[in-house]
Structure 1
């Protein structure tokens, strides 16, 4: 069952919060919803798209963090040595910045629309930034 609807470019994905594994991150993100941004292709991390968020502070630290999100997993990097960001993996990802390896909180997992995930990633890579919107289902 999807708790979230994520609209990215021309695609729609169902998703769930990982509330048991990342309760503080999920609660902080829910307060910011509906969350609207743009996704651009990652520069250092592999097959992913990201939302650069500058100095936006969600007020969370590390929980359920990983440097290797699987396709369909969304992570929040809370800031520190690099800017705050949200990353959606569509293929192999080793999360990093020009400063080196990073880890982000895995707090959302896509549950439907996965057949369009690679196409979204390649669209962002070849056609540029796409709108993205997170809203409750």
Structure 2
């Protein structure tokens, strides 16, 4: 098993997530390469899909694998936005230039039917370890209630 860590810098909390190598091998391989240097960015709370926040990351065009429509608490999904399609959506157009991507972190339940119907697909590639789910929910809810904070996503030792 291999893991990543998600650190909430404002709350000074760190969570571990297991990479799902069996069901999303290409995505996990790409994220390991991407996270050779930690991804650091502001958290943005979801507008459409539920109890989720995301952090922008380097874009890598990956094939669809382990797609999810009803994300559960603790699931982590990678989304890629081609420049002339979804990176132009109003929520992204002022934040990213060219192709874009995000790591979406679900602290509660989600509903991606509308997003999926538009053609946006995400790869479920990691899950928060079960013993940290309650604290992860509280940390995500804190982001919703108090606003953005920097998140660091890195490979775990």
Normalising by the smaller structure, the TM-score range is 0.7 to 0.9
Q: Residue 101 and residue 43 in structure 1: after superposition, are their counterparts in 2 closer, same or farther (change >3 A)?
A: farther
Q: Once the 2 structures are TM-superposed, how far is the Cα of residue 61 of structure 1 from its aligned partner?
A: 2.1
Deviation at 1:85, TM superposition (A): 2.0
Which structure's residues are more often strand, by fraction? 1
What residue number does 2:77 align with? Answer: 75
- For residues 1-137 of structure 1, the aligned pairs below 5 Å read 3-9=3-9, 10=11, 11-33=13-35, 34-53=38-57, 56-80=58-82, 81-83=85-87, 84-95=101-112, 96-97=114-115, 100=118, 102-111=120-129, 112-137=131-156
- Moved runs in structure 1, 4+ residues, more than 6 A? none
Unaligned runs of 5+ in 2: 88-100
- SS of equivalent residue, structure 1 residue 91: strand
For the aligned residues, what is the CA RMSD?
A: 2.1
Scaled by the length of structure 2, the TM-score of the pair is: 0.74
2:5–2:154 Cα contact (<8 Å) kept: yes
Q: If the length of structure 1 is used for normalisation, what is the TM-score?
A: 0.84
| Cα drift, residue 2 of structure 1 | 6.0
Deviation by residue 1:9-58 (Cα, 9 ceiling, x = unmatched): 422111111111111111111111122222121000111111245xx421
Structure with the greater alpha carbon radius of gyration: 2
| Shift, 1:101, TM fit | 6.9
Structure 1 residue runs of 5 or longer lacking an equivalent are none
**Is contact 1:28–1:59 with CA below 8 Å preserved after alignment?**
no
Q: Deviations over 1:78-114 (max 9, x none)?
A: 22442322211111201355x8474310001111422
Which has more helix, going by share of residues? 2
